[in-house]
Amino acid sequence: MKKVTIAILIALLAVGFAFADVNVTFRANTSVVQGLTDTTGGVDLRGTVTQWGPGTNLTNVGGDYWEITIQLAPGDYEYKYGAQVVNPLDGSVTDYWENDIPGAGPVPNRTLTVGSVDMVLDLDFVGVAQGSPHPYFTPSDSIDVLFRVNMGEHPDFDPSSGHVYIVGAFPGPDGADNMWVPDKYALTQEGENSDYWSYQLKLDAANAPYDSTMYRFTLGSWGESEGIYGHGMFPDNENRGISVYGDTTVAWKWWNDSSPAGFEGTDTSAITFTTNMSKAAGNNGFTIGDTLLVKLGYFGSSSELLTDTLTRQGFTFNYATTVEQVPVTFGQRLYYQYYIYKLGQEQREIYFNFDYDGSVPSEAERRFFVINTATVAINDIEDSEVDARRMPIFRNNTKLSKDVTLTLECDIRPAIYQVLAGSTLEDIQSSVTITPAMLAADPDTILKLGVWVNGPMSNNGEGTWQTWGGTLAGDVNRKMYDDGTHGDAVAGDSIFTIVYNMSPDSSSGTVGQEFKFGIGGGDNESGYGLNHIENI
């Protein structure tokens, strides 16, 4: 009897153990499909592991990565993923089976065998069949990072002729110390008609982790690069930021974080645009014969982005056009911008709207006009550096035709007068802030600190930005002089000078140049988006 009891107990224990549920963790990556981030949709688990339909939602654990842990009894299962994608225009949600998510390929049901112990499954790529090779990375000793950007809301980007690039503080794959060259590291378009572009970066694992590293996207020049301010890892900086500890894919971004904006207006207006191009011509950014365009309707201020060509008025530098029946909302701003078309490329005007009172940097770089009536005249003809209705000017992106000796002078007296009047010159990226108290203690503070130039034009058109603060202050190739040397005409006159030899072969060997001054090496001349753009 004793033997029988033991046998029964053993059998009961075996049966109980065989049917005990275990924890199974599913891990998914959404970098292959389109439209999904932690704020634009969700991912769910479907199949015999749950139910054949939505309802069992994964949690975003950062970037493109999603997870869920459920309890399953040992046995064989089938599963796949689903997704919910939010329409950014109206907030509506579309539910997809995995095969139907934009960007996905054919995905047969995945299979899973659950044993008697807890399991963490290998990473699944949503939209990629189980057992397929890794869609991006080949196993190696390097750290692989995938960056993606959606260009669908950049109204001026033409994928048939334009290219997207990445810049940043990561070591370059070509052995360069960094990637701060705006037209060197090109992204690849993800399909002929896709708005998504991606770049795979390989990093030396021995130098990991790559903490708080800056990067951003460009269209091949500093004048056409992102400016991400007010949020993210570096809210006081124009760059994006990321920390990299191992192989990863970075959740896709809208170019300049500009997602689609809806339009609900029911009004229309006939709008006449008039401007004068004499200043642009005198600045070597425009010649008679260039095509002048106006684009209107940015940021959802009209039903779509409209483009019209301005016509030269007689033999003057005045240009004008009337755009009929523009969809608008009376009492609201219509955002617009001037462009020239020359040598097969569009070039946006250099503009910062000092009347802008919002918090979106990209909006501050566009013109706007409040539309109140069915007929409107907008006259951008003021000869001014700051007036909202000022004449447009343009950066000349053509290559220099020959070597040029460039003398750059900076009169520091306006900065001194500004501080003496009670203003503070805030350093927005390091710690060289100039206060009235400093000049009260020593009126020569600014002169003693000296002046440096930074930006793509500096160091003979090197094409990069030096780190502001002590690093820039230690860079003799960007230091300016007021001692009668290095091209300085008069020692001690508060006009600092530097001479550069610009070449068509340099990284920044174009007619149009970008730069910024810094007292004591600090970023204290102006705010973001207000760099000097000048044509040689």
Q: What is the DSSP string of 282-330?
A: HTTS--BTBEEEEEEEETTTSSS-EEEE-EE-TTSSEEEEEEEEEEE-T
394 torsion bin: left (phi>0), alpha (psi -120 to 50), beta (else): beta
What pLDDT score was predicted for residue 90? 60
Structural contact between residues 24 and 121, judged by C-beta atoms closer than 8 angstroms: yes
CATH of 22-125, one of 2.40.160.60, 2.60.40.10, 3.40.640.10, 3.40.50.150: 2.60.40.10
Where residue 1 falls among pLDDT bands split at 50, 70, 90?
A: very low
Torsion, Cα of 11, 14, 15, 19 (10° steps): 180
- Say whether pLDDT at 403 is over 70: yes
* In the chain, domain spans: 22-125, 142-257, 267-380, 404-535
What pLDDT score was predicted for residue 89? 63
- Say whether pLDDT at 15 is over 80: no
Cut 0.75: pTM above it: no
What pLDDT score was predicted for residue 528? 58
More confident residue, 274 or 153: 274
Structural contact between residues 485 and 427, judged by C-beta atoms closer than 8 angstroms: no
Task: Provide CB contacts within 8 A for 485, sequence distance 6+.
Answer: none
| Closest CA relative to residue 248, chosen from 77, 35, 27 | 27
248 torsion bin: left (phi>0), alpha (psi -120 to 50), beta (else): beta
- Say whether pLDDT at 293 is over 90: yes
- Say whether pLDDT at 152 is over 60: yes
Q: Is 18 exposed, middle or buried (0-12, 13-18, 19+ CB in 10 A)?
A: exposed
- Say whether pLDDT at 110 is over 70: yes
Say which DSSP state 339 is in.
Answer: E
Q: Is 535 exposed, middle or buried (0-12, 13-18, 19+ CB in 10 A)?
A: buried
Torsion, Cα of 338, 342, 347, 349 (10° steps): -40
**Domain 142-257 grouped into CATH 1.20.120.80:** no
Q: How much helix, strand and coil, in percent to the nearest 5, is found in the chain?
A: 10, 40, 50
What pLDDT score was predicted for residue 315? 95
Angle, vertex CA 28, rays to CA 23 and CA 32, nearest 5: 170
Query: What does each C-alpha distance from 297 to 93, 187, 260, 300, 402 come to in angstroms?
Result: 26, 28, 12, 6, 40
Q: How much is the mean pLDDT over the chain?
A: 88
pLDDT digit string (tens) for 34-69?
888 766 788 999 999 999 988 899 998 887 899 999
Once rounded to an integer, what is the mean pLDDT over residues 435-445? 96
According to CATH, the topology of domain 267-380 is Immunoglobulin-like (2.60.40)
Structural contact between residues 261 and 300, judged by C-beta atoms closer than 8 angstroms: yes
Once rounded to an integer, what is the mean pLDDT over residues 429-433? 88
Backbone angles phi, psi at 432, to 5 degrees: -100, 70
Question: What SS3 state is found at 242?
Answer: strand
Which long-range contacts link 136-139 to residues 24+ away (Cβ below 8 Å)? 136/31, 136/200, 136/249, 137/200, 137/247
- Helical (H) or strand (E) element with 167: strand 165-168
Where residue 485 falls among pLDDT bands split at 50, 70, 90?
A: very high
Q: 267-380: same fold as 142-257?
A: yes
